[in-house]
């Protein structure tokens, strides 16, 4: 049986949870009151010791990323940027934080800014999240009015200003360097990777970019301590994650769970099982960009980075898409590739042209004009897209193609041979 653990989502179910009054009644901003009595180093050390991993999809250790911000950088200002561009299909957890508990995020931002010596923070929010942006902005306004944000945060001798920056609706702007390009007023194209470890740069100034949920986890770690966070999850994937459950389940939604929770138990417990008592066919475990798992693989899967990696997939954003037997995998892959085709930023040749070509081949197969050669072609184009671009968009699309075509090859072949007849 699964035990409910609520670190991020503890205030989600309260009426008016997004308001300052309710949030404060239930513990918000406790950690900020006496913030300057702590050293910034103690906060970084706590985050490092907690083993917190970035919750935007990559799962990189947050502490190590924060350490890259250490140093003087010739006295240049440091910035904290929160990535709220959440656009991965099947992923809608950050939206929950923004609309249910924006003050948790603001609290996390205050702690992060203080720890890193930053005074200005930005939240880059997906343009389509209009309503959530309204709620967030309301919360920020409340926080300013209450002296929580601004010149001296809750009476501490430390300034933090927070600005919301709306994106214009591009998936790629969730990639941190493309996000910063966009914030600089340029086209959202990912930057070339640096040749050594370094922070991100916003107008040439050292910048931390973290996901909404990552920052929202910081208040718990600072208040309760690293060990309290580590008591959940696994040794290498400590803590919890807000998993977003969608697809053919009875109760889709956002439910927090410790890393390491068995995937099928999670689907049963929170999702109430497969819709209409149906049979599971496949699961996309961590947002559209992670490789599909067959029902057999899903039965072995646990919700942590290592387990998913062992199955040749990834935990990603924790956006779980459940598919029952009614799903036609050719159509499913076409649906996914239409997304990648539409969202490729167009910077690198393999991605720009590859995603469009794959989409066209799948359209042809669906139009009953495909041949068995097309499967080989899909895998060949996928190979050309994999690992040959600036960012990981194309490799992600590539892994989606490979997994679908290889794991459901018989279904694809049957579709091609019978012209789609069931």
Of 123 and 173, which CB lies nearer to other proteins in the complex structure? Answer: 173
Number of alpha carbons in the 13 Å side-chain half-sphere of residue 118: 27
| Minimum gap (Å) between residue 373 Cβ and other proteins | 9
The candidate with the shortest Cα–Cα distance to 241, out of 75, 25, 58, is 58
| Minimum gap (Å) between residue 195 Cβ and other proteins | 6
Catalog residues that contact other proteins under the rule CB under 8 A.
Answer: 170, 187, 189, 192, 195, 341-357, 360-361, 377, 380-381, 383-384, 387-390
Q: In this structure, is the dihedral angle defined by the CA atoms of residues 65, 217, 239 and 315, taken in order, positive or negative?
A: negative
Contacts of 187 (CB under 8 A, 6+ apart): 181, 345
DSSP letters spanning 139-184: HHHHHHHTTSSBSSGGGSS--BEEEEEE--S-GGGGSHHHHHHHHT
For residue 56, give the H/E element and its range: none
The candidate with the shortest Cα–Cα distance to 252, out of 197, 320, 200, is 320
Contacts of 64 (CB under 8 A, 6+ apart): 48
Question: Distance between CA 331 and CA 23 in Å, rounded?
Answer: 44
Q: In this structure, is the dihedral angle defined by the CA atoms of residues 357, 360, 366 and 367, taken in order, positive or negative?
A: negative
| Minimum gap (Å) between residue 330 Cβ and other proteins | 18
| Minimum gap (Å) between residue 203 Cβ and other proteins | 16
- Structure tokens belonging to residue 263: 């995937």
Of 169 and 310, which CB lies nearer to other proteins in the complex structure? Answer: 169
| Minimum gap (Å) between residue 314 Cβ and other proteins | 17
Question: Distance between CA 266 and CA 280 in Å, rounded?
Answer: 14
Of 38 and 352, which CB lies nearer to other proteins in the complex structure? Answer: 352
| Minimum gap (Å) between residue 352 Cβ and other proteins | 5
Of 118 and 172, which CB lies nearer to other proteins in the complex structure? Answer: 172
| Minimum gap (Å) between residue 54 Cβ and other proteins | 23
Of 211 and 386, which CB lies nearer to other proteins in the complex structure? Answer: 386
Of 82 and 170, which CB lies nearer to other proteins in the complex structure? Answer: 170
| Minimum gap (Å) between residue 56 Cβ and other proteins | 22
366 Cα distance to chain centroid = 31
Of 192 and 421, which CB lies nearer to other proteins in the complex structure? Answer: 192
Of 164 and 363, which CB lies nearer to other proteins in the complex structure? Answer: 363
| Minimum gap (Å) between residue 405 Cβ and other proteins | 16
Determine phi and psi for 400, rounding to 5 degrees: -65, -45
Of 101 and 343, which CB lies nearer to other proteins in the complex structure? Answer: 343
DSSP letters spanning 270-316: HH-SBGGG--EEEEE-SSTTSPPEEHHHHHH-BSSHHHHHHTT---T
Question: Distance between CA 244 and CA 96 in Å, rounded?
Answer: 10
8 Å CB contact between 266 and 240: no
């Amino acid at each position: 049986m699964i035990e409910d653990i609520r670190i991020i989502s503890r205030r989600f179910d309260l009426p008016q949870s997004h308001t300052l009054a309710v949030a404060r009644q239930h513990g918000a901003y406790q950690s900020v009151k006496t913030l300057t009595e702590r050293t910034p180093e103690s906060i970084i050390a706590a985050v490092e010791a907690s083993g917190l991993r970035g919750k935007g999809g990559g799962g990189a250790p947050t502490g190590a990323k924060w350490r890259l911000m250490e140093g003087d950088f010739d006295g240049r200002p440091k910035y904290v940027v929160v990535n709220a561009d959440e656009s991965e299909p099947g992923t809608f957890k950050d939206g929950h934080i923004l609309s249910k508990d924006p003050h948790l995020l603001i609290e996390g931002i205050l702690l992060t800014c203080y720890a890193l010596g930053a005074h200005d923070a930005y939240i880059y929010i997906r343009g389509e999240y209009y309503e959530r942006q309204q709620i967030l902005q309301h919360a920020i306004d409340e926080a300013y009015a209450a002296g929580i944000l601004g010149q001296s945060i809750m009476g501490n001798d430390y300034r933090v200003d927070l600005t919301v920056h709306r994106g214009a609706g591009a998936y790629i702007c969730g990639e941190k360097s493309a996000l910063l390009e966009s914030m600089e007023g340029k086209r959202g194209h990912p930057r070339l990777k640096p040749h050594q470890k370094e922070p991100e740069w916003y107008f040439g100034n050292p910048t931390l970019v973290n996901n909404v949920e990552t920052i929202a986890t910081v208040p718990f770690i600072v208040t309760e301590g690293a060990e309290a966070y580590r008591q959940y999850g696994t040794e290498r994937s400590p803590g919890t994650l807000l998993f977003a459950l969608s697809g053919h389940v009875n109760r889709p939604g956002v439910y927090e769970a410790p890393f390491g929770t068995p995937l099928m138990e999670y689907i049963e417990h929170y999702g109430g099982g497969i819709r209409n008592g149906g049979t599971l066919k496949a699961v996309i475990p961590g947002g559209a960009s992670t490789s599909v798992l067959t029902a057999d693989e899903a039965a072995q899967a646990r919700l942590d980075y290592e387990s998913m990696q062992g199955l040749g997939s990834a935990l990603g954003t924790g956006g779980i898409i459940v598919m029952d037997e009614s799903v036609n995998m050719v159509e499913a892959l076409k649906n996914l590739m239409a997304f990648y085709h539409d969202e490729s930023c167009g910077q690198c040749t393999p991605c720009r042209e590859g995603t469009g070509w794959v989409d066209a081949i799948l359209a042809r197969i669906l139009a009953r004009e495909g041949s068995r050669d097309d499967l080989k072609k899909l895998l060949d184009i996928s190979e050309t897209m994999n690992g040959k671009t600036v960012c990981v968009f194309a490799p992600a699309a590539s892994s989606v193609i490979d997994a679908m075509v290889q794991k459901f090859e018989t279904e694809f072949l049957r579709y091609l041979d019978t012209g789609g007849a069931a």
